[in-house]
């Protein structure tokens, strides 16, 4: 099949397929007499794999690593599983961060809703978001909370 059909089946653009080839994620395709790339079912497989691994959150580089190891006949299971475990931890951390942000946001929204709209007229008193005045922000740790003061 040619690139258009392959792309359709994988639900990506032809440009993306060429891009993948350019970064080595897809092998260099064989060509027809006219110079068109010609693909087989295994190429679709590979693209679907890439998509799955992307869904799992792996970067194209990581996916390439797994694919390369596989091509080399190396034992991918161990490395792949480790990659996945790492990524699982990353996701957990990300969720924790998001939930903290969510809680802070929720507080702000609640505050905003409980405010007297009349107060909003005063440009110096929008109280929805603000930073702690005079709060000595301690070194380096990412802040996960928001304060409420005047903006």
Out of DNA, its own copies, none, what residue 48 binds, judged by CB under 5 to 8 A for its kind, is its own copies
Out of its own copies, DNA, none, what residue 103 binds, judged by CB under 5 to 8 A for its kind, is none
Q: How far is the CB of 19 from its own copies (least distance, A)?
A: 19
Give the tokens for residue 147: 């304060």
DSSP state of 143: P
Give the tokens for residue 90: 């990353």
Beta bridge mates, 96: none
Other Cβ atoms less than 10 A from the Cβ of 70: the count is 14
Out of its own copies, DNA, none, what residue 36 binds, judged by CB under 5 to 8 A for its kind, is DNA
Other Cβ atoms less than 10 A from the Cβ of 43: the count is 21
Residues forming contacts to DNA in the complex (CB under 7 A) are 2-5, 7, 12-16, 18-19, 29, 31-37, 54, 59-61
Choice between 70 and 87, CB closer to DNA: 87
């Amino acid at each position: 099949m040619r690139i258009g059909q392959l792309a359709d089946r994988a639900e990506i653009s032809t440009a993306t397929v060429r891009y993948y080839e350019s970064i080595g994620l897809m092998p260099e395709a064989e060509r027809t007499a006219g110079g068109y790339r010609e693909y087989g079912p295994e190429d679709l497989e590979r693209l679907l794999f890439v998509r799955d691994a992307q869904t799992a959150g792996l970067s194209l580089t990581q996916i390439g690593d797994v694919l390369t190891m596989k091509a080399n006949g190396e034992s991918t299971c161990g490395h792949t599983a480790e990659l996945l475990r790492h990524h699982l931890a990353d996701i957990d951390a990300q969720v924790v961060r998001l939930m903290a942000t969510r809680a802070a946001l929720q507080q702000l929204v609640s505050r905003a809703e409980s405010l007297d709209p009349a107060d909003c007229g005063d440009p110096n008193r929008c109280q929805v978001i603000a930073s702690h005045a005079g709060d000595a922000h301690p070194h380096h740790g990412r802040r996960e909370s928001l304060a409420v003061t005047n903006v």
